[in-house]
Chain A
Amino acid sequence: MRGLRPEQNAELMENIKKKFSNDILHMEENRGMVVIQAKKENFLTLMKSLKDDKPFMFDTLMDLTAVDYSGVKDIRFEVIYMLFSSKTLSRIRLKLSIAEKENAPSVINIWKGANWPEREVFDLMGIRFDGHPLMERLIMPDGYIGHPLRKDFPIKGLGEDYLIESILMPVKNEVNLKKEGSK
């Protein structure tokens, strides 16, 4: 991204290497932005330190998303965190590899803005976040089957006939309603 200060990156990378050499797998510079492949162990400590500690001060979680690399990489998913510091105006990108049926740690206690984005990733990509208070669907209806942004989800849908009844009325509710009706 334009407007980054690549001359600060060497120092930033040096500081990160000094502090967290055990917590990161790989670090590189991609078009002026420092990109870190993080380990899942101690990930929250790393994030907390990036937010609070003096040389970093990444006080904003600018973006949180996930990519499905099925068939491309060994580990299927990658959760992407983009951090921004309002003090130094620098940006950094972290990537966390998550295997299928594995949960990612939630950063909601570090940046509260991670609330909806994590739910969105769960909803559309199917990655659960440990420690999130309400890991439920956010955008798709509650009874929806499948996670649309996964690569194996067909772009035409799973063959629903797109009637509002079939999409929005999960079976459990029908049963509940009948019970209530009989009361």
Chain B
Amino acid sequence: MSDQIPETSNQANSQQHSELRDYALYSVLRDAVSDVEELPDGLMRLNLGPSHPATHGILQNIIDIDGETIVRARPVIGYVHRTFEKLGEAYTYNQFLTCTDRMNYISPPMNNVAWTTAVEEILEIKAPPRAQVIRTIINELSRIADHIICNGILGVDVGGYTGFLYIYHFREAVYNIMEKMVGARLTTTFTRIGGLEMDIYPDFVKDVKKFLKDYPAILKDFNTLLIHNRIFIDRCKGVGAISAENALAWGYTGPNLRAAGVPLDLRKDSPYLVYDQVDFDIPVGFDGSVYDRFLVRIEEMEQSMRIIRQCIDNIPEGPWAIDDYHITMPPKEKVYTSMEELIYHFKLVMHSIKVPAGEYYSAVEAANGELGFYVVSDGTEKPYRVHVRRPCFWYYQSYPELVEGGLISDAVAVMSSLNVIAGELDG
């Protein structure tokens, strides 16, 4: 470069810029494979992702194959990292709620419930019964939406597109209910510390009942299309299996652990909301394979509907947020007319909620497993440190163990059956 005449024109700059970009793209790939040793003779290296229709999110897998057999798999993550834990140190406890929307973006209301439950446990308050029941219903609706995506797309990935078209419509129905409720489909932020932001809309019960009436028939059609389908069974049964002991050692939780035969569920083991007042069963599988994970999720959808059926007619009357204006916003009409409420409003907006100093851990059962929050508070309105135990992050690291030795076509089936959500994986 040194013996060339330096060019200063814009064209030269843009050319240099595009060369730089080429280098950068090349070096991204180099970075990604830098920890993988030289490819032995006879093997082929396949780069699945970061942006690939079969990966459902921005995550990458570098797979070495011998013929059609996977010899080595290396997941590369971090493409959607937004450092929410750092942001949490700059946000107040209510503001951090918006970050939780964007973690598991398939079932955001469940993350909202998890964070508010954690903070309420720290503050030792309890949301009013009406809020608890509404939270439970929304929680289970979003669990159904999450499992619809996982199971529907698993069908697509192994070549059964039709089932997906039947079932996906009902994920839309859940999102429509959320849209009517809070005005957003994905960034819901529907809870507040101490209750809900607002009451349910008048037709909420009607809409949920319509969902409960229509969905079981379609779920039955979906099951008919896939569960007893010879091709689907051949692609899934025994594929990507994991033993119970192994799953526990990897830190599995949720449906993936239950598919391996361990009946652990935080809704039963340490109940929150109204889960101790409703009847439901915990489905378990046998060998933790793709097929068992699929069946566990199907049965969990049935159980979720069972929970909603018990709750929907029994939403108690009353307030939807606690009556403590140090924690929840006072109603607007009082703020405009009364001095005291105006001061509370101002204090809450400007100074937010102060949380007693200490270290706390609280977890709930999200769609993918144990979603936990470890909060270190120094007594101010912002957390000193907030750490999120993201279920995806713990079980996805076992991906190489599940696929190595299997066929290349199984790699995609295992990935979709684990339900890896890039936003939750990277944090």
Contact = CB atoms under 8 A, between A and B. Distances in A.
B254 interface: no
B81 A140 contact: yes
Nearest to B268: A3
Contacts of A177: 23, 26-27
Contacts of A4: 270
A117 to B, nearest CB: 7
A115 B359 CA distance: 25
B270 A2 contact: yes
A61 B394 CA distance: 10
A169 B20 CA distance: 9
Interface stretch (B85-93, B130-138, B310-318): B85-93
Nearest to B395: A113
- Looking at B24, B266, B269, the one whose CB has the most chain A CB atoms below 10 A away is B24
B376 interface: yes
Contacts of A93: 361
Contacts of B24: 164-165, 168-169
Interface stretch (B28-36, B40-48, B198-206, B346-354): B28-36
Nearest to B427: A139
Interface in B230-277: 245, 248-251, 262, 264, 266, 269-272
A33 B251 contact: no
A68 B385 CA distance: 8
A11 interface: no
Nearest to B87: A155
Interface in A87-135: 89, 93, 111-113, 115-117, 120, 124, 134
A168 B76 CA distance: 14
Given A63-B387, A112-B250, A136-B35, A174 B23 contact: yes
A140 B266 CA distance: 32
Given A62-B370, A65-B387, A139-B78, A117 B393 contact: yes
A170 interface: yes
A24 to B, nearest CB: 17
Contacts of B426: 139
A168 B385 contact: no
Contact of B78 (A140, A143, A149, A173): A140
A86 B23 contact: no
Contacts of A148: 83, 86
27 contacts: A1-B360, A1-B361, A2-B121, A2-B362, A3-B269, A60-B248, A63-B387, A65-B374, A67-B376, A72-B378, A112-B249, A112-B398, A113-B250, A117-B393, A120-B393, A138-B78, A139-B77, A139-B81, A141-B31, A149-B85, A149-B86, A153-B86, A164-B21, A165-B23, A168-B27, A176-B30, A177-B27
A168 B270 contact: no
B380 interface: no
A41 interface: no
Interface string A31-64: 1010100000000000000000000000111110
3 residue pairs, one from A and one from B, having the closest CB atoms? A3-B270, A113-B251, A139-B78
Given A1-B363, A168-B31, A177-B26, A116 B397 contact: yes
B195 interface: no
B410 to A, nearest CB: 21
Contacts of A141: 28, 31, 78
Nearest to B359: A30
Contacts of A143: 31
A29 interface: no
Contact of B251 (A35, A62, A170): A62
A112 B266 CA distance: 23
A59 B252 CA distance: 11
A3 B245 CA distance: 23
Nearest to A142: B31
A161 B42 CA distance: 43
Interface string B371-385: 010101010000011
Given A113-B397, A174-B23, A1 B121 contact: yes
B374 A80 contact: yes
Contacts of B270: 1-4
B248 A165 contact: no
A93 B372 CA distance: 14
A54 B370 CA distance: 25
Contacts of B387: 63, 65, 80
A181 to B, nearest CB: 10
Contacts of B31: 141-143, 168, 170, 173
Given A117-B394, A140-B81, A169 B23 contact: yes
Contacts of A89: 264, 269
Nearest to B263: A86
B67 interface: no
A138 B77 contact: yes
A60 B426 CA distance: 22
A82 interface: yes
Interface string B78-102: 1001010111011000000000000
A113 B374 CA distance: 18
B183 interface: no
